[in-house]
Structure 1
């Protein structure tokens, strides 16, 4: 939780660093209309408050041989704490799982899985996902191509 409310200047800082996490403090300060010292101080406060949680490079999955994206809906045998913990601990250790959400509705979880090809997905399914004791049912859909992919939040 931030120590203070996020104001318009903070939002402008966040918008800029979401587009370019490697922006220099000088360029950031020019873009948001604030001198460099207070600009840096605000950015450091956003980091300290946990609003900015890290910086990453976005890698094109196709260019590194990860051309298959699967969305897997998972139902558990039971939705008690023990089964949830078993499942969550297991999937957190799988490098193929890019995202995992606890869901409402027909499934308990939704995963976004990235692999090289369909054979690699079958291996992932047979040797990892179906071996989790808590799993009762899996339903998979494959992405044909991305239409909208964003990393920046709409501030």
Structure 2
């Protein structure tokens, strides 16, 4: 795969869209000092390049009814492709697991879960997380306050 070559205008477009993905093409074109047709052409090329992984609406977790966030570190019994695949397939099916990473270090995976209250977290732990394929050890850390959370990359 060849490296994507972005110029300053492309970076401007991507930064504006990361700030507000609902910008109209006319507003975006004005912000980056392009004609609407030239701006749309560039946006389409950026979309086709694969740099845009997707677009989505980001909800406020607390307003949506999820009072807490936990980071859970999981160790599996073994490290084989089959167990990893089974684990990852099951994780993808759990809506309250918001993120999952295969990590290097003392644990195998780190997941981020959202929960409504402590009873919900206890249920997630007992009925979901501890029953994920291959899990033999669970360590959790509860987030007390969100200091920074972003999906915006420094382009």
TM tier, smaller: over 0.9
- Report the alpha carbon displacement of residue 96 of structure 1 after superposing the two structures with TM: 0.5
- Report the alpha carbon displacement of residue 2 of structure 1 after superposing the two structures with TM: 7.0
Which position in structure 2 is the counterpart of 1:52? 52
**Structure 2: distance between partners of 1:130 and 1:52:** 35
The TM-score normalised by the length of structure 1 is 0.94
**Structure 2: distance between partners of 1:3 and 1:9:** 17
**Structure 1: distance between partners of 2:69 and 2:48:** 34
Which position in structure 2 is the counterpart of 1:76? 76
- Report the alpha carbon displacement of residue 32 of structure 1 after superposing the two structures with TM: 1.0
- Report the alpha carbon displacement of residue 51 of structure 1 after superposing the two structures with TM: 1.2
**Structure 2: distance between partners of 1:21 and 1:7:** 20
Flag as ranges the 4+ runs of structure 1 deviating above 6 A: none
Structure 2 counterpart SS, 1:69: strand
**Structure 2: distance between partners of 1:5 and 1:141:** 40
**Structure 2: distance between partners of 1:4 and 1:102:** 26
Structure 1 counterpart SS, 2:63: helix
**Structure 2: distance between partners of 1:99 and 1:48:** 26
1:103-154 Cα shifts (integer Å, max 9, x gaps)? 0111111111001011111111111111123111110000001011112111
User: How many pairs were matched up?
Assistant: 155
1:29-77 Cα shifts (integer Å, max 9, x gaps)? 1111111111101111111222112221111111121011000001111
Any unmatched runs of 5+ in structure 1?
Answer: none
**Structure 2: distance between partners of 1:50 and 1:131:** 36
The TM-score normalised by the length of structure 2 is 0.94
